[in-house]
Protein backbone atom coordinates (compact mmCIF):
# COMPACT_ATOMS: atom_id res chain seq x y z
CA UNK A 1 0.00 0.00 0.00
CA UNK A 2 2.76 2.43 0.89
CA UNK A 3 4.53 1.70 -2.39
CA UNK A 4 1.33 2.40 -4.35
CA UNK A 5 0.85 5.68 -2.49
CA UNK A 6 4.41 6.76 -3.29
CA UNK A 7 3.96 5.83 -6.96
CA UNK A 8 0.72 7.86 -7.05
CA UNK A 9 2.42 10.91 -5.55
CA UNK A 10 5.34 10.68 -7.99
CA UNK A 11 2.95 10.30 -10.93
CA UNK A 12 1.01 13.42 -9.93
CA UNK A 13 4.23 15.44 -9.55
CA UNK A 14 5.39 14.33 -13.00
CA UNK A 15 2.03 15.20 -14.58
CA UNK A 16 2.06 18.72 -13.10
CA UNK A 17 5.64 19.27 -14.28
CA UNK A 18 4.88 18.07 -17.79
CA UNK A 19 1.90 20.42 -18.09
CA UNK A 20 4.20 23.39 -17.40
CA UNK A 21 6.62 22.18 -20.08
CA UNK A 22 3.76 21.78 -22.58
CA UNK A 23 2.48 25.29 -21.89
CA UNK A 24 5.97 26.73 -22.25
CA UNK A 25 6.45 24.94 -25.58
CA UNK A 26 3.08 26.20 -26.87
CA UNK A 27 3.93 29.75 -25.79
CA UNK A 28 7.26 29.55 -27.65
CA UNK A 29 5.46 28.33 -30.77
CA UNK A 30 3.01 31.23 -30.51
CA UNK A 31 5.76 33.81 -30.06
CA UNK A 32 7.60 32.46 -33.11
CA UNK A 33 4.41 32.86 -35.17
CA UNK A 34 3.93 36.36 -33.76
CA UNK A 35 7.45 37.26 -34.92
CA UNK A 36 6.47 35.95 -38.35
CA UNK A 37 3.50 38.32 -38.29
CA UNK A 38 5.88 41.25 -37.81
CA UNK A 39 7.88 40.17 -40.87
CA UNK A 40 4.74 39.66 -42.98
CA UNK A 41 3.34 43.04 -41.90
CA UNK A 42 6.54 44.76 -42.99
CA UNK A 43 6.35 43.05 -46.40
CA UNK A 44 2.65 43.91 -46.65
CA UNK A 45 3.37 47.60 -46.01
CA UNK A 46 5.99 47.72 -48.76
CA UNK A 47 3.54 46.17 -51.27
CA UNK A 48 0.54 48.34 -50.29
CA UNK A 49 1.50 51.98 -50.81
CA UNK A 50 3.39 52.15 -47.52
CA UNK A 51 0.21 51.35 -45.55
CA UNK A 52 -0.65 48.85 -42.82
CA UNK A 53 -4.41 49.51 -43.16
CA UNK A 54 -5.31 46.03 -44.48
CA UNK A 55 -2.58 44.00 -42.79
CA UNK A 56 -5.00 42.16 -40.44
CA UNK A 57 -6.74 40.66 -43.50
CA UNK A 58 -3.48 39.71 -45.27
CA UNK A 59 -3.59 35.96 -46.08
CA UNK A 60 -0.18 35.19 -44.55
CA UNK A 61 -0.93 37.21 -41.42
CA UNK A 62 -4.25 35.36 -41.06
CA UNK A 63 -2.43 32.01 -41.34
CA UNK A 64 0.07 33.04 -38.67
CA UNK A 65 -2.69 34.34 -36.39
CA UNK A 66 -4.41 30.96 -36.75
CA UNK A 67 -1.15 29.22 -35.81
CA UNK A 68 -0.93 31.43 -32.71
CA UNK A 69 -4.51 30.57 -31.77
CA UNK A 70 -3.87 26.85 -32.27
CA UNK A 71 -0.84 27.07 -29.98
CA UNK A 72 -2.31 29.00 -27.07
CA UNK A 73 -6.05 28.48 -27.49
CA UNK A 74 -6.82 32.20 -27.71
CA UNK A 75 -7.25 34.28 -30.86
CA UNK A 76 -4.79 37.15 -31.11
CA UNK A 77 -6.17 40.68 -31.41
CA UNK A 78 -5.04 42.56 -34.52
CA UNK A 79 -5.45 46.33 -35.00
CA UNK A 80 -4.19 48.45 -37.86
CA UNK A 81 -4.29 51.94 -39.28
CA UNK A 82 -2.51 53.26 -42.35
CA UNK A 83 0.59 54.04 -40.28
CA UNK A 84 0.54 51.50 -37.42
CA UNK A 85 -0.36 47.92 -36.60
CA UNK A 86 -0.22 45.69 -33.56
CA UNK A 87 -1.07 42.10 -32.67
CA UNK A 88 -1.37 40.84 -29.10
CA UNK A 89 -2.28 37.47 -27.58
CA UNK A 90 -2.70 35.99 -24.10
CA UNK A 91 -0.06 33.34 -23.46
CA UNK A 92 -0.74 30.07 -21.65
CA UNK A 93 1.85 31.03 -19.04
CA UNK A 94 1.72 34.55 -17.70
CA UNK A 95 1.11 37.77 -19.55
CA UNK A 96 0.63 38.68 -23.18
CA UNK A 97 2.91 38.72 -26.20
CA UNK A 98 2.77 41.66 -28.59
CA UNK A 99 4.32 42.77 -31.89
CA UNK A 100 3.79 46.14 -33.56
CA UNK A 101 4.81 48.53 -36.31
CA UNK A 102 7.46 50.10 -34.06
CA UNK A 103 9.27 46.73 -34.37
CA UNK A 104 8.46 45.85 -30.77
CA UNK A 105 8.33 42.13 -29.95
CA UNK A 106 7.86 41.05 -26.37
CA UNK A 107 5.78 40.32 -23.33
CA UNK A 108 3.32 42.74 -21.80
CA UNK A 109 1.11 42.65 -18.71
CA UNK A 110 -1.92 44.33 -20.31
CA UNK A 111 -3.88 43.41 -23.43
CA UNK A 112 -4.97 46.75 -24.87
CA UNK A 113 -3.59 47.89 -28.23
CA UNK A 114 -3.54 51.69 -28.33
CA UNK A 115 -3.89 52.95 -31.92
CA UNK A 116 -2.37 49.73 -33.22
CA UNK A 117 0.67 49.86 -30.93
CA UNK A 118 1.61 47.51 -28.07
CA UNK A 119 0.93 48.74 -24.53
CA UNK A 120 3.83 50.29 -22.64
CA UNK A 121 3.86 47.55 -20.01
Q: Is residue 113 part of a domain?
A: no
The H-assigned helical ranges of 1-121 are: 2-47, 59-72
Q: Is residue 114 part of a domain?
A: no
**Cα angle, residue 118 at apex, residues 113 and 121 outer, rounded to 5°:** 105
Domain housing 90 = 2-108
119 within a domain of the structure (yes/no): no
121 belongs to a structural domain: no
Nearest to 51 by CA among 81, 92, 16: 81
On whether residue 118 sits in a domain, the answer given is: no
> In this structure, are residues 85 and 52 in contact, taking their beta carbons and an 8 Å threshold?
yes
**In a domain? residue 94:** yes
pLDDT at 23: 76
Question: For the chain (length 121 residues), average pLDDT per consecutive 10?
Answer: 58 58 87 96 96 97 98 96 96 94 94 88 85
Q: Which residues pair with 98 in a beta bridge?
A: 88, 106
Total of domains in the chain: 1
Amino acid sequence: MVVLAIIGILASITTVGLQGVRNNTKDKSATASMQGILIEATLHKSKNNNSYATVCANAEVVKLRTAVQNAVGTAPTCAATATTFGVIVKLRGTGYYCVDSKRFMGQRTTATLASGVCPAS
